[in-house]
Amino acid sequence: MRETFLEMKSARSRRSFLAQDPGNPRTRIAFLYEYDASGDPSGDWFMARVAAYGILRNQHAIRAGAGPSSVTLVIGVLHHPDRGRRHVFFYATQTDVSLPDELRDQLEAEFGVFDGTRVRNVS
């Protein structure tokens, strides 16, 4: 986690990863680290991004066979070089809204597709 966070700071660009217990594929934890130099003090855009990322990963897991009781906890960290960090938490379940196709395609191009065992880039 620390190494990925430091990579994000150094590159000044987003980093994400997903962890899942192989013995319990119905639950997982996802991290989204974002470097913010935009100056938008509200951070509302980041809360929406974390939620969309969580819904995407949870729906991927369900399609990969995790079952309808699948859950994904997402921890988002928005890092601003001067204002510090903002943390966002999102708990995605099977009852969350579906993503519009265009948004899903955009997120999959950026974050890849989780196939139940690993994240694969979309070509």
What is the C-alpha to C-alpha distance for residues 121 and 81, in angstroms, rounded to an integer? 29
The stretch 12-38 carries a mean pLDDT of: 88
pLDDT value of position 95: 72
The stretch 30-49 carries a mean pLDDT of: 85
pLDDT value of position 39: 66
